[in-house]
Amino acid sequence: MNTNVVDRADAPTLSIAMEERGAARANAAKAVAEKLDFWYGSNQALKNINLLIPENQVTALIGPSGCGKSTFLRCFNRMHDLQPDTRYAGSIMLHPENVNLVGKDVDPIEVRMRIGMVFQKPNPFPKTVFENVAYGLRLRGFNNRTELGERVEKALRGAAIWDEVKDRLNDSALALSGGQMQRLCIARALATEPEILLFDEPTSALDPIATAKIEELITELRQRVTILIVTHNMQQAARVSDFTAFMYLGELVEVGATSQIFTNPSKKATEDYITGRYG
Amino acid sequence: MDTAAHARASSDPGDPHTLGVVDESVAGLRLHALEMGALVIEQVATAARSLLERDMKLAQLVLARESLVDDYDRRLDRDSLTFIALQQPVANDLRLSRAIVRIGRELERAGDEAKKIARFTLTLGQTADGDPVVAVSRQLRHMASLSGSMLRNAVRAADEMDVTLAHSVLERDAELDAEFAAALRLVMSYVLQDHRFLRPTIDTIFALKGLERIGDHATNIAEQVLYVKEGARG
């Protein structure tokens, strides 16, 4: 697990700078974006992105609105396929099988089973707590009541919400608080045991306590799942991530250990953004 | 903000932030560090003069102003902590807030050395007949001038975040150390000739050592400038 990043990343441009002493060391790559371009119609939103996502660690994507960080995140589970007139070039290779996630021959539904996503606004289905989590499992063909129950409980425990909902499994999910709904959505994403979890501004609609619970959860989850998180909250990126990537105008400007990016970034553009000198 | 054009280059801590209140905090910290620097430069110069000219009044003045130096140090400590708590600075802003605390500490210690030299002036009193201070007065004068100039340049480098000036301070430390070693040899030969002056000789050695330490504090301040601008040093 703790092998050096260079083992799987052949291209030097993909490696994460780690010369800084005391900085986090990258695990082996779980996914590698290489020469990734993306277009909405004629508008190029991502330009030549080369980024290594280390396994079982948290990578944060930061940058001003419109820089392409959410667009990049959505490439991983093929969310863009739901929109007409979008186009990918380059690759995102998922390890260890070396599947190109944005390849034409890859089934987006299968990709989404392996790569879960949690959105900015909690979006539970208008169903019971239990059914919200069981939904993805049923899609995968799990129908045995006992097995479903076990897997739902495991996912709810994994999302640190089991104790709060174990007596209300048949209540509507819409009756939960915002923070609970968001953790339910995380449980729903966890149920199919994804390899990568994508978080798109997961706490921007939550109060500080609910935010702290989600952040704590992210820290726990990374022992099992590779995590990619988009956030506008710089302190959040600093608190929860191992690596931080700064994007600007569709390009990846700088990536490095979070401790290094927030104390001594190597690019002036990064420094200006994180210190609030941008714009 | 052109992503490609900006290679390894840090913005100046004085460059404006989107939030004006951050600029105010940074400006306040830097201003108080500068004021403290000016006060300590004056303390060191006055203490050295009090010793060389046997001026009790100047020595008393140094002792009277010592508490002002401590006040500045506490103030920088407090304001940096508030800045960190309220504005959560990162990158060069964070490095600056830590550097300011350290610069305050170095200045406070340089001020302590000035205080010790002033105390020695008072102990030594008016008698100037054949005491060790007279014997090494040329070295004392030179060391006072050298350490004073290092401290001035270090404070100016910190105020202007001038890397070149900071480097020039670092380069002069060896010269001061060599001067101290030479003065030490001279004063030791003096005490070997006449044991009556043992106590004032020891005090003289402490005064020389104090000036040498002031040069070290100036060096440490210069290193903080490099740390803020280049981020390389711990």
Query: What value does the mean pLDDT take over residues A135-149?
Result: 91
- ipTM of the complex as predicted: 0.73
**Reported confidence tier of residue B232, pLDDT bands at 50, 70, 90:** low
> Does the pLDDT of residue A3 top 60, yes or no?
no
Rounded mean pLDDT of chain B?
Answer: 89
> Does the pLDDT of residue A18 top 60, yes or no?
no
The tally of domains found in chain B comes to 1
pLDDT score, position B44: 97
Look at A269 and B1 and tell me if their CB atoms are within 8 Å: yes
User: Which residues from A are below 8 Å from B22, CB to CB?
Assistant: 276
Query: What value does the mean pLDDT take over residues A24-41?
Result: 93
pLDDT score, position A13: 45
Shortest CB distance from A271 goes to which of B7, B10, B16?
B10
- A247 strand-pairing partners: A252
CB A53 within 8 A of CB A196: yes
**Reported confidence tier of residue B133, pLDDT bands at 50, 70, 90:** confident
Query: What value does the mean pLDDT take over residues B43-57?
Result: 94
- Please tell me which residue, A5 or B206, carries the higher pLDDT value: B206
- In percent, the amount of chain B with pLDDT more than 70 equals 92
Residue B68 lies in a domain: yes
Look at A274 and B90 and tell me if their CB atoms are within 8 Å: yes
Query: What value does the mean pLDDT take over residues A174-199?
Result: 94
> Does the pLDDT of residue B154 top 60, yes or no?
yes
- Please tell me which residue, A20 or B22, carries the higher pLDDT value: B22
pLDDT score, position B150: 97
pLDDT in tens, A48-62: 999 999 999 999 999
CA distance A68 to chain B (A): 14
> Does the pLDDT of residue B213 top 80, yes or no?
yes
**Reported confidence tier of residue B9, pLDDT bands at 50, 70, 90:** low
Q: What are phi and psi of B48, to 5 degrees?
A: -65, -40
Angle at A26 between CA B90 and CA A8, to 5 degrees: 140
Residue B5 lies in a domain: no
| CA of residue A18 relative to chain centroid, distance | 22
Rounded Cα distance between A31 and B212, Å, is 57
pTM, to two decimals: 0.81
CA distance B164 to chain A (A): 20
Task: Write out the residue range of the structural domain in which residue B122 sits.
Answer: 20-230
pLDDT score, position A180: 94
The verdict on A160 touching B (C-beta cutoff 8 Å) is: no
**Reported confidence tier of residue A131, pLDDT bands at 50, 70, 90:** very high
User: Domain of B130: which CATH number?
Assistant: 1.20.58.220
Rounded mean pLDDT of chain A?
Answer: 89
> Does the pLDDT of residue B42 top 90, yes or no?
yes
> Does the pLDDT of residue A234 top 80, yes or no?
yes
pLDDT in tens, B182-200: 999 988 887 787 777 788 8
CB A153 within 8 A of CB A162: yes
- In percent, the amount of chain A with pLDDT more than 90 equals 77
How many CA atoms lie within 13 Å of B107's alpha carbon, on the beta-carbon side? 37
User: Which residues from B are below 8 Å from A248, CB to CB?
Assistant: 1, 3
pLDDT score, position B3: 40
**Do the strands A43-54 and A29-40 form a parallel or antiparallel pair, or are they unpaired?**
antiparallel
Domains of chain A: 5-274 (3.40.50.300)
User: Which residues from B are below 8 Å from A266, CB to CB?
Assistant: 8
pLDDT in tens, A96-120: 999 999 998 999 988 888 999 999 9
Least confident of A155-159, A180-184, B14-18, B156-160: B14-18
CA nearest B186: which of B138, B227, B226? Answer: B138
**Reported confidence tier of residue A36, pLDDT bands at 50, 70, 90:** very high
pLDDT score, position A95: 92
Query: What value does the mean pLDDT take over residues B59-88?
Result: 94
Shortest CB distance from A235 goes to which of B2, B3, B88?
B88
Give the single-character DSSP code of B18: S
Shortest CB distance from A275 goes to which of B3, B9, B90?
B90
